Chains A and B, each alone.
Chain A
């Protein structure tokens, strides 16, 4: 039996039908056509499916779709303002911090959650916060540079 779920995704009211055991990740991609969120491992190890769920960074592969009922979900699709990229997205481009790109949406969603909590993270804090996001092209250094550079820019400082 399919469950009818009403939720909020990137500020918009959404509804969908899902199986009880279906993951939020599957629903985002297959029912709501929000394919920016990626599936990597499906076991919560890689962070490619990172979304903000009621204000907390989570792996959407480890959330059941019916749990979304009445919750607020933010995905990579809600990061840019229309056609204007978020500063993190611009810095990822500037620093070439996306070798193959599969991990990028997860990294950007996770980094955005970090900068909203801590506008001035140290490199160590940034690396620990992003330890649950894996880049199998191993482009970590550029990713960390891009996040720290974004933080500097958002604080209104010059490099």
Chain B
């Protein structure tokens, strides 16, 4: 009996935490990674903890000061939300890039982060907009910035009994916007060779007062590149500033060579994508951003 696989659908975080304390318990959100890993033998869940009946993990709530993005909300529900797409166009374009229509119907941003692929598209985009992970666990709730959540390929900071409940993302100020770009060798349905998320805040004169630049697929975890952001601050996206930001991104990248691209190629593409994503973020912010 003890060896039997179980399926549980708790309706509260407290019950989910209890179940996740059991040996072999795995969170089931959209299932688009877990069930594939199970079929290939890479994951052997003993208890499926379906977190799609919990209010916190399934809520998408745009408040006056911040967005609550439940960890298990399917991508399609976010992409369909016009106001979220207007406020965070870069985050939403990253979410919209993941998989097919069918995958979008199930896959979640929380799952994308917890699965901890270095190439996860939503992770650099979440970093660019300073998303904060809200983790629930046996010792209460804690918050971790997205850039500190993954610890390596396939690993993250969650301990036994803990789960990612969702993300808090502060509403962008006026003239603040973001962009995400990834490079893949075809137009759709592929894994990033490099991904770049950029967010910029501008003053009334169009000068950058704050920036965040994050790279995916060029290191074991997402990279927040402070030097690239610093190159943008004070600029109006002049060619020189963009070139310096791109060079800082290339210098920060620590990629491997694999079937998707060589390390040299990835370093170069990282610079190109940061330059282009920054240009897009500036254009959006000038057009008003969230104002």
Contact = CB atoms under 8 A, between A and B. Distances in A.
Nearest to A60: B102
Contact of A110 (B31, B32, B102): B102
A62 B74 CA distance: 14
Nearest to A20: B7
Given A62-B31, A64-B31, A21 B103 contact: no
A50 interface: yes
| Interface range on chain B (Cβ under 8 Å from partner) | 20 to 34
Contacts of B45: 21
Interface residues of A, number: 32
A105 interface: no
A63 B31 contact: yes
A57 interface: yes
B106 interface: yes
Interface in B15-68: 28, 30-32, 35-36, 38-40, 45, 48, 50, 52
A85 to B, nearest CB: 23
Given A47-B102, A56-B74, A132-B102, A21 B31 contact: no
B102 A50 contact: yes
B100 A132 contact: yes
B6 interface: yes
Q: Is the interface of A mostly helix, strand, loop or mixed?
A: mixed
A66 to B, nearest CB: 4
Contact of A131 (B31, B40, B189): B189
B185 to A, nearest CB: 15
Interface string A114-157: 10000000000000111111000000000000000000000000
A3 interface: yes
B100 A47 contact: yes
Nearest to A23: B35
Interface in A61-78: 61-64, 66-67, 69
Residue among B36, B76, B102, B105 with max Cβ neighbours from chain A (10 Å): B102
A79 interface: no
Contacts of A113: 101
A133 B99 CA distance: 11
Interface in B75-91: 76
Given A1-B1, A20-B7, 18 more contacts: A44-B32, A44-B35, A44-B99, A44-B102, A56-B105, A57-B102, A57-B105, A62-B31, A62-B103, A62-B106, A64-B7, A64-B48, A67-B28, A110-B102, A113-B101, A131-B189, A132-B99, A132-B101
Interface of A: 1, 3, 19-21, 23, 42-44, 47, 50, 53, 56-59, 61-64, 66-67, 69, 110, 113-114, 128-133
State the 4 A-B residue pairs at the shortest beta-carbon distance, nearest first: A132-B100, A20-B7, A56-B105, A66-B7
